[in-house]
Amino acid sequence: MKFVDEFRDPDAAHRCAEAIAAITTRPWSIMEICGGQTHAIVRHGIDQMLPSGITLLHGPGCPVCVTPPGMIDAAIAIAKRPGAILCSFGDMLRVPGQAGSLLAARGQGADVRMVYSPLDALGIARANPDHEVVFFAVGFETTAPATAMSVLQAEREGLGNFSLLVSHVLVPPAMEVLLADPGNGVNGFLAAGHVCSVTGTREYGPIARRHGVPIVVTGFEPLDLLLGIYLCVRQLEEGRTQVENQYSRSVRPQGNAAALAALAQVFEVRAQEWRGMGKIEASGLGLAPAYASFDALGRFGDAAVQPERPGACISSEILRGMKKPCECVAFGKGCTPDHPLGATMVSSEGACAAYFRYRRPIDDEYWAA
Amino acid sequence: MNEAPSFSPVCPTPDKPGETVELGHGSGGRLTHDLIESVFRPAFAHCETDLTHDGAELEIGGARLAFTTDSYVVQPLFFPGGDIGTLAVNGTVNDLAMCGARPLALSCGFVIEEGYPLAELRRVAHSMQAAASATGVRLVAGDTKVVERGKGDGLYINTSGVGEIVAPLPVAPGRVRPGDAILLSGDIGRHGMAVMSAREDLGFDPPILSDCAALHSPVLRLIEEGIDIHCLRDCTRGGLATALIEIARSAGLAMKIEQNAVPVSEPVRGACEILGLDPLYVANEGRFVAILPGEQAEAALSVLRDFEQNAALIGMVEAGPEAVSLRTIGGSYALDFLSCEQLPRIC
């Protein structure tokens, strides 16, 4: 398959791993930002191909994971209203808030529908004029433009029964929070290729300079990841801290102008609550005042967002790359994908869920059960 | 208060208050197995058959018969490459074939929702007859129930089937041995993606067609050619991965699978990539795994390739802990049951 097979070629992957080993003289810790990259690394065993000195830290980049549980509870409360249809991406449905999941709410009779795009939700609103259709808008800069386009389209059509529960998050502010912690062990970053396809790479230059870390915009296939790691290690070994673009088949430095314009028109940047990380300034998107009438929280005032209750989960440290999933006493025992205790286990792209699926030893007690 | 507690019957697995059946209980994954183990196995205490096998083997008057049943609740009822009628015949025929049996006769029970168009019901009935004729199996008994509007999903069909076991030795996980070869009868993921694209109106172009087909012919040919089949399993809901895990667990052996050896067609791979689904867990309705002695792998593969060009040797059985490991580019990992159906990913 074009653009997949070439980037999954085992021989080329092993040559790339050898090239990384050949230039590595010291230990380095590199954080991949995106949950999709974490998933691919663990699934394909990319980390197991690297020289022992190279450690991959798994960052906070699973938007489903970091969606605040209070927001999920608000989505459930809206879904349970008579005459409401709550639309969401598939992987959000199973994630528990503090009062169950959207899938469980559907089991209890709420009208919860899985969509592939906010434009599908718009179609449902058109087809059901006597229902209130709410799209649960989650995701990074990758999915936010489609959300913005749905608002603009709804405005054009005068669709009064369409609104949004917005929980979009932004990547660079989270990177700043990680780097501001003096205990962070991050030497370099693999930035999320799909996010940069929208935003371009300009935001990353100041971060690289300010914190003295190389940032390599990287794709999601095994060879993308290995090449991203190679470029990052080469910068570290040469003492450079620049922004480099491994994923040039998709990412332009200036980003996608149409997508950025839609974002700027519909949204404004706000402080945002991250599950497992707390509130981060200027790290989320809310509807701009001109589009406030599309805000589901404003429309359905009783669906307030409650703060996250503290728990025993160490996902805060895992999201910051300070601990690995297997260092948690609850991992695979009290905490599994069926009964997740925190952010990094709730979605399949979370670091704990990826380790649970791909890294449990075969003699694990879980298998014996 | 020192009296011994009075006798009262105790349920072996006390219910947790408020527990209800979830959709995931029907997905063929971990929750389905939990349901079988926590509800049906304890209740059917004297049942000696393997409840995870595709059918039961019965000896009646010296004849060895396979007996099986399956219910079909697919949505939409018509999908690219088939409909609920073809599925209801072929699915049960395949369960019989997986017991090493020649399918003989099927019963069919219809649960129809009030208001369901008769024209569609006729189409389904004709599909069933066409599938039965193509397979050489007879539809010999039936039942019809109508439920109130809103209490069914248009149409549900149950079919039960009997077949004559023609494999000279049992075809069951208990006969799997270290050194056995694991063969897959064709490329995977077509049925699940065909149904999903029809249900969600995804409009892949060209459309992905279901692989829905009867599998008795390749199985009977393997037996005729003298292949000593140790175990067969069709890769229906839960896909290839679930089928392999079930066999490994029942056999108490390890399986090593080469990821690159598992055939997946380009359209299915593309669709799975877009939606973030793992084809190993996507449903099939016309594919099976055959486990047989390693030295017969080549002969068996050439039989399977007469029916499906891309049938493949995908791995081997080894001694070791009961698990299925998949070799990837950089390492390997153990496949696990999914707790419920896969959901498309956000990005």
Q: Delimit the domains of chain B by residue range.
A: 55-165, 173-335
Strand B180-184: give its sheet, edge to edge.
B231-234, B288-293, B180-184, B312-318, B254-258, B324-327, B332-335
A92 touching B (Cβ < 8 Å): yes
The answer to whether the Cβ–Cβ distance between A48 and B345 falls below 8 Å is no
| B chain contacts of residue A139, beta-carbon cutoff 8 Å | 346-347
pLDDT at site A183: 87
- A vs B, Cβ pairs < 8 A, gives 98
The ipTM (two decimal places) reads 0.80
Nearest to A337 among B22, B321, B339 (CB): B339
The CA distance from A238 to the nearest CA of chain B, in Å, is 27
B20 to A107: CB separation less than 8 angstroms, yes or no: yes
Q: Mind listing the pLDDT tens digit for each residue in A17-39?
A: 999 999 999 999 999 999 999 99
Residue of B nearest to A11 (CA): B329
| pLDDT given at position B346 | 63
Kindly state the average pLDDT of the residues A92-118.
90
pLDDT value at residue B25 = 84
Across the interface, whether the CB atoms of B344 and A91 are under 8 A apart is answered: yes
Give yes or no for a contact between B270 and B193, defined as CB atoms under 8 angstroms apart: no
Q: Is A3 on the interface with B (CB under 8 A)?
A: no
Q: Is B347 on the interface with A (CB under 8 A)?
A: yes
CA dihedral A251, A255, A259, A262 (to 10 degrees): 160
Which residues of B are less than 8 Å from A135 in CB distance?
none
CA neighbours closer than 13 Å in the CB half-sphere of residue B291: 32
A107 vs B contacts (CB less than 8 Å) = 20, 22-23
What class has domain B55-165? alpha beta
Alpha helices (runs of H) in A184-330, residue ranges in sequence order: 193-199, 204-211, 222-238, 257-266, 296-299, 315-319
Q: What global pTM score does this model have? A: 0.86
CA atoms of B124 and B143, how far apart (whole Å) = 15
Q: Which of A43, A64, A91 sits opposite B328 (nearest CB)?
A: A43
Asked if the C-beta of B252 comes within 8 angstroms of chain A's C-beta atoms, the answer is no
Contacts of B323 in chain A (CB under 8 A): 362, 367
Q: Which residues on chain A are in Cβ contact (under 8 Å) with B334?
A: 360, 362, 367
Distances in whole angstroms, Cα of residue B292 to Cα of each of A309, A350, B99, B228, B297: 54, 39, 14, 6, 7
Q: Do B347 and A36 touch (CB under 8 A)?
A: yes
A362 interfacial to chain B (CB closer than 8 Å): yes
A358 with B333: Cβ contact below 8 A: yes
**pLDDT by position in tens, chain B (length 347):** 444 444 433 334 444 545 778 777 887 777 888 888 888 888 886 666 565 677 888 888 889 999 999 999 999 999 999 999 999 999 999 999 999 999 999 999 999 999 999 999 999 999 999 999 999 999 999 999 999 999 988 999 999 999 999 999 999 999 999 999 999 999 999 999 999 888 877 778 888 999 999 999 999 999 999 999 999 999 998 999 999 999 999 999 999 999 999 999 999 998 998 888 999 999 999 999 999 999 999 999 999 999 999 999 999 999 988 899 999 988 889 998 886 667 776 65
Q: Which of A36, A93, A367 sits opposite B343 (nearest CB)?
A: A93
Residue range A303-313, pLDDT digits in tens: 667 777 777 78
Is B37 an interface residue toward A (CB < 8 Å)? no
Residues in chain A closer than 8 A to B23 (CB atoms): 103, 107
Chain B residue nearest residue A7, CA to CA: B329
Residue B175 structure tokens: 């006969």
- For residue A88, give the nearest of A347, A336, A350 by alpha carbon: A347
Angstrom distance (rounded) from CA B311 to CA B166:
23
Lowest mean pLDDT among A70-74, A363-367, B3-7, B208-212: B3-7
Among B20, B270, B325, beta carbon nearest to A1: B270
* Dist CA B128 CA B139 (whole Å): 9
Task: Determine whether the interchain pair A91/B346 forms a contact, defined as Cβ–Cβ distance below 8 Å.
Answer: yes
Rounded CA-CA distance B282/B15 in Å is 32
pLDDT digits (tens, 9 = 90+) for A232-282: 999 999 999 999 999 999 999 999 999 999 999 999 999 999 988 889 999
Q: What's the gap in Å between the CA of B347 and the closest CA on chain A? A: 7
Between β-strands A215-218 and A243-245, what pairing exists: parallel, antiparallel or unpaired?
parallel
Residues of chain A with Cβ-Cβ distance to B276 below 8 Å are 91
Which residues lie below 8 Å from residue A96, measured CB to CB, with a gap of 6+?
A69, A72, A340, A346
Q: Is B191 helix (H, G, I), strand (E, B) or coil?
A: helix
B321 closest CB neighbour out of A91, A359, A363? A363
Contact state of B347 with A90 under an 8 Å Cβ cutoff: no
Is some CB atom of chain A closer than 8 A to the CB atom of B328? yes
Rounded to a whole number of angstroms, the CA Rg of chain A reads 21
pLDDT for A305: 74
Complete domains list, chain A, with CATH: 5-54+178-245 (3.40.50.11750), 65-170+257-299 (3.40.50.11740)
CATH 3.20.20.140 applies to domain B173-335: no
Residue A139: which of B200, B270, B346 has the nearest Cβ?
A: B346
Of B68, B134, B133, B77, give the one whose Cα is nearest residue B107.
B68
CA angle A6, B316, B242 (to 5 degrees): 80
pLDDT at A91: 85
pLDDT the model gives residue B339: 67
| B266 close to A (CB below 8 A) | yes
Strand A162-169 versus strand A188-192 pairing type: unpaired
Predicted confidence at residue B188, as pLDDT, reads: 98
Among A63, A138, A362, select the one facing B323 at the smallest CB separation: A362
Residue of A nearest to B325 (CA): A362
pLDDT of residue A366: 56
Taking an 8 Å cut-off on Cβ atoms, the answer to whether B321 and A92 are in contact is no
Residues B173-208: b if buried by 16+ CB within 10 A, e if exposed: bebbeeebbbbbbbbbbbbbbbbbbbeeebebeebb
Tokens 């929070």 sit on residue: A177
List, as ranges, residues 222-281 from A with C-beta within 8 Å of B: 222
Question: What one-letter code names the amino acid at B21?
Answer: V
Q: State both tokens at A106.
A: 């559907």
Residue B333, both tokens = 């990992």
CB contact under 8 A, A1 and B273: yes
Please state, for a pLDDT cut of 70, what percent of chain A lies above it: 96
